[in-house]
């Protein structure tokens, strides 16, 4: 008798799970489908009826400003009014727009003239949307600070910060000579925790796994676009379409706006001396380097954990593009930390235990980077030589120690030198000093107690994100949570330079924390809706799900 083929147990089990999942999905009636269609049509009509008056008012006010002052100012004023009003009225879209605009903000700023006011354009998108979220929380008595564990350390830190603002910056204001120490302090405080409530925005605005995947997939696409624009910038410089850095002496080793090419802001391109510092789509090369490092974590999450094989491929492409730009941009810190971040992620997320998925990606990435090293040896050797010379001139341990000792020697009083006094972005309101490590900068501005309070806040955040990702059962969501937690951990205690003080890390840090903290809710929601598949909810998880379901869905107004 011919042998009957028996399907493997694993395949039969998967088939049963798929059938159970299909059975668990509720079938909507025609009446319910019509109701959903009507609700969507009403939402569209509401959006249109809100947008048209805002745009008309913006155009009229912009025309008035153009007539009184000048056309360029009128266009900027009208756009600012429209941006503020639309962000307040549609906070969900504004938060997405804020995250998506961030990587190209530098290019937009200098394409429109490079005014200092334009650097605050992203804040004109974020803070009106944040105001809407705050008003929503007050109206419906929802918690503003997420997670609850952050409330006490945040209250203590903010109380201490306000004391510095009043007693240190306030006393400086009384004796100021052309400076604005209070405004300087406000910008300094914004640089420290200004985007912390982005965690709250993510908590209320991401309602489902579809929202989450949309955000992370779009982030991967943005990484590819920005890296492609950066590569075009490099090729235009290499082929002579854009002139190299001009000048004599030290001018040939400094990034300048005069050398700006295609996208971004100030750049340095002196290949004859082996010195290249490209800004990509950002204002300065330093920001571009940290965009590449940050993007490694987001691209890694999509490459290894997206539920779609197509989007995993796009995530891999984003990782490749980040690796390419880490080589050709001439950024020594990106060249060092991008591969180091990949290794750290492999260790922290457990991907090394899945060789079938890990090895093909690792071999492909390594092959591409080897090809680039052969194709552009002068760029790679220049970056390595610059990294080695910098290391030898100022070893990181000595450099960090020197910065901390200097900050301690500069202390005046119990509350530090004042908020914003070492914040480069606040220099338009007063004199600032350059402190090249983040913790030394906080120590200089806020004294030892301020540094301790801020590190305590970061530590609580690290612990809560760790607990959140470890509670996730869905393997894809758990992988995303591990990548986001690793980024939060890495940035919280990174001692070299000041990534948390500048774009885009000062946004991506809180964004990653918000995503990691939202994932357990999405995981429990998914498992509750698919009772026939996966792991059942425990009593504790059921209570957590019921608690999260009590929170009112965000709708405004």
pTM of this structure: 0.88
Give tens-digit pLDDT for 358-417. Answer: 777 777 777 777 777 777 777 677 677 777 777 777 788 888 999 999 999 998 888 999
Judgement on whether residues 382 and 240 belong to the same structural domain of the protein:
yes
Among residues 89, 119, 148, which one ends one of the domains?
A: 89
What does the pLDDT read at residue 546? 55
Q: Residues 205-260: pLDDT tens digits?
A: 888 888 899 999 999 999 999 999 999 999 999 898 998 888 777 777 788 888 88
Instruction: Please write the tens of the pLDDT for every residue from 85-142.
Output: 888 988 988 999 999 999 998 888 888 777 767 777 888 899 999 999 999 988 888 8
* 450 pLDDT above the threshold of 90: yes
Residues 6 or more apart whose CB falls under 8 angstroms from that of 18 comprise none
Is residue 469 in a domain?
Answer: yes
Q: How far is CA 255 from CA 88, 136, 272, in A?
A: 37, 45, 15
More confident: 493 or 140: 493
pLDDT beyond 70 at 16: no
Token code pair at residue 333: 């810190």
Check if the beta carbon of residue 292 is closer than 8 Å to that of residue 320: no
Check residue 518 and give its pLDDT.
93
Of the two residues 74 and 489, the one the predictor is more confident about is 489
Nearest Cα to Cα of residue 264 among 288, 228, 294: 288
Range of the domain at 73: 49-89
The Cα-based distances of 433 to 92, 271, 395, 495 in angstroms read 38, 31, 22, 18
Give the list of residues 6+ apart from residue 450 with CB closer than 8 angstroms, or none.
157, 160, 161, 164, 415, 416, 442, 443
Q: Is the pLDDT of residue 11 over 80?
A: no
pLDDT at residue 219 in the model: 95
Tokens 């204002």: give the residue. Answer: 283
Residue 476 has pLDDT above 70, yes or no: yes
Residue 372 forms part of a structural domain: yes
Is residue 478 in some structural domain? yes
What's the confidence (pLDDT) of residue 550? 54
Which residues, other chains included, contact 238 with Cβ-Cβ below 8 Å and sequence gap of 6+? 271
- At residue 556 the predicted structure's pLDDT band, cuts being 50, 70 and 90, is low
DSSP 445: H
Number of domains in the chain: 2
Percent of the chain scored above 90 by pLDDT?
39
Using the predicted structure, report yes or no on whether residue 492 has a pLDDT greater than 60: yes
| 441 pLDDT above the threshold of 90 | yes
Say whether pLDDT at 330 is over 50: yes
Q: Please give the pLDDT value at position 131.
A: 93
pLDDT tens readout for residues 248-272: 777 777 888 888 888 988 898 888 8
pLDDT-derived band at 544 (thresholds 50, 70, 90) equals low
pLDDT of residue 335: 86
Residues 198 and 81 in one domain: no
The rounded mean pLDDT for the chain is 84
Question: How many CB atoms within 10 Å of residue 532?
Answer: 14
Give the pLDDT band of residue 540 (cuts 50, 70, 90): low
How confident is residue 12, by pLDDT bands cut at 50, 70 and 90?
Answer: low
524 inside domain? yes
> Looking at residue 154, what is its pLDDT?
96
Most confident of 37-46, 358-367, 391-400, 523-532: 391-400
Residue 177 domain-assigned (yes or no): no
196-205 pLDDT, tens digit per residue, is 999 999 998 8
Report how far residue 152's alpha carbon sits from residue 149's, in angstroms, rounded to the nearest whole number. 7
Nearest to 288 by CA among 491, 500, 504, 121: 504
pLDDT of 151 > 60? The answer is: yes
Answer yes or no: is pLDDT of 157 > 50: yes
Q: pLDDT tier at 536 (50, 70, 90 boundaries)?
A: low
CA distances from 511 to 98, 150, 195, 214 (A): 11, 15, 9, 14
| 83 and 196 part of one domain | no
Question: Which residues face 269 on adjacent strands?
Answer: 276
State pLDDT tens for residues 21-35.
444 445 566 667 777
Within a domain: 18? no
Query: At how many degrees (to 10) do helices 209-238 and 505-529 cross?
Result: 150
How buried is 82 (Cβ within 10 angstroms: 0-12 exposed, 13-18 middle, 19+ buried)?
A: buried
Is the pLDDT at 9 greater than 50, yes or no?
Answer: no
Residue 546 lies in a domain: no
Does 6 map to a domain?
A: no
């Amino acid at each position: 008798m011919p042998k009957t083929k028996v399907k493997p147990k694993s395949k039969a089990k998967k088939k049963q799970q798929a059938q159970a999942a299909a059975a668990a999905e509720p079938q909507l009636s025609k009446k319910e489908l019509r109701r959903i269609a009507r609700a969507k049509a009403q939402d569209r009509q509401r959006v249109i009826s809100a947008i048209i008056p805002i745009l008309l008012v913006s155009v009229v006010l912009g025309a008035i400003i153009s007539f009184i002052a000048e056309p360029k100012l009128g266009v900027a004023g009208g756009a600012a009014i429209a941006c503020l009003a639309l962000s307040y009225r549609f906070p969900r879209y504004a938060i997405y727009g804020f995250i998506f605009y961030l990587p190209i903000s530098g290019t937009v700023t200098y394409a429109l003239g490079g005014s200092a006011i334009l650097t605050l354009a992203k804040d004109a998108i974020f803070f009106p949307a944040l105001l809407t979220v705050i008003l929503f929380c007050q109206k419906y008595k929802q918690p503003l600070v997420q997670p609850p564990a952050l409330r006490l350390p945040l209250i203590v830190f903010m109380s201490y910060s306000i004391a510095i603002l009043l007693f240190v910056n306030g006393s400086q204001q009384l004796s100021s000579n052309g400076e604005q120490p209070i405004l300087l302090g406000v910008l300094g405080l914004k640089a420290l925790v200004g985007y912390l409530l982005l965690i709250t925005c993510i908590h209320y605005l991401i309602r489902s796994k579809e929202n989450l995947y949309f955000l992370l997939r779009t982030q991967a696409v943005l990484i590819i676009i920005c890296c492609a624009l950066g590569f075009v910038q490099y090729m235009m410089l290499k082929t002579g379409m854009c002139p190299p850095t001009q000048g004599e002496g030290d001018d040939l080793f400094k990034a300048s706006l005069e050398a700006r090419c295609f996208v971004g802001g100030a750049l340095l391109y002196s290949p004859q001396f082996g010195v290249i510092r490209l800004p990509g789509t950002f204002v300065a090369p330093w920001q571009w380097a940290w965009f590449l490092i940050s993007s490694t974590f987001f691209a890694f999450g999509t490459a290894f954990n997206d539920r779609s094989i197509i989007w995993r491929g796009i995530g891999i492409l984003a990782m490749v593009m980040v690796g390419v730009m880490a080589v050709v941009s001439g950024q020594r810190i990106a060249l060092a930390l991008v591969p180091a971040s990949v290794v750290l992620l492999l260790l922290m997320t457990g991907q090394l235990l899945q060789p079938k998925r890990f090895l093909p990606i690792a071999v492909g990435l390594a092959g591409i980077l080897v090809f680039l090293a052969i194709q552009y040896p002068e760029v790679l050797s220049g970056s390595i030589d610059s990294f080695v010379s910098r290391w030898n001139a100022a070893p990181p341990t000595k450099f960090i120690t020197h910065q901390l000792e200097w900050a301690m020697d500069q202390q005046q009083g119990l509350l530090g030198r004042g908020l914003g006094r070492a914040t480069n972005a606040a220099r338009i309101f007063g004199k600032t000093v350059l402190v090249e490590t983040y913790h030394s900068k906080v120590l200089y501005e806020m004294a030892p107690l301020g540094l301790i309070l801020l590190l305590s806040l970061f530590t609580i955040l690290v612990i809560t994100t760790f607990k959140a990702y470890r509670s996730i059962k869905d393997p894809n969501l758990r992988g995303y949570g591990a990548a986001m937690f690793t980024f939060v951990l890495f940035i919280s205690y990174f001692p070299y330079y000041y990534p948390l003080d500048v774009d885009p890390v000062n946004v991506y840090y809180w964004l990653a924390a918000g995503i990691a903290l939202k994932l357990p809710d999405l995981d429990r929601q998914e498992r509750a809706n698919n009772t026939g598949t996966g792991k059942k909810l425990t009593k504790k998880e059921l209570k957590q799900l019921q608690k999260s379901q009590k929170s009112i869905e965000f709708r405004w107004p």
